[in-house]
Amino acid sequence: MPVPALYYAATALHTISIPGHWAFGVQHVDKAVDQIPPEEEYSVGRAGARVSWGSFYGLLATLGLLNYHWAKRGGARTAEEKLIVLSTLAIGLFAGRPYFKARAYSPLGCIWVAPFLTVIATFI
């Protein structure tokens, strides 16, 4: 049986991570992207870095809303929803490693902890 409190906790982690994501971007990411040379051969990489970072706001909001929905509805039920849960964990495990290696632990709340909470709520 799903545990709504775990879904709500994942919702909270995703939601509070949005302003943290912005602050982290201003403090670290924007400065790094600004170091990419302005030559045309780097323009796609520079744009991709900014778009990728920026689109993560939408992902955080979407995952927060999904977890809230699952908490209210009684869990991720369909095969597609369960694949979303598992893919979020898999992507998070991969994406979180560079942050862990860089000793930047705050991003791991929404990248590792929230997906683990969702997995536990869904499958345990």
pLDDT tens profile 91-115: 999 999 999 999 999 999 999 999 9
Non-local CB neighbours of 64 within 8 Å, separated by 6+ positions: 10, 11, 14, 15
Residue 83 parent element (H or E): helix 79-101
Q: Tell me how far CA of residue 60 lies from CA of 35, 43, 49, 57, 64, in angstroms.
A: 26, 26, 17, 5, 6
pLDDT of residue 2: 65
Kindly list the domain boundaries of the chain, sorted by start residue. Answer: 4-123
Q: By C-alpha distance, which of 65, 83, 94 is closest to 122?
A: 83
Question: What secondary structure letter does DSSP report for 106?
Answer: T
- Confidence class of residue 1 from pLDDT cuts 50, 70 and 90? low
* Nearest-5° Cα angle at 20, 16 to 26: 155
Considering the entire predicted model, what is its pTM?
A: 0.89
pLDDT tens profile 11-69: 999 999 999 999 999 999 999 999 999 999 999 999 999 999 999 999 999 999 999 99
Non-local CB neighbours of 73 within 8 Å, separated by 6+ positions: none
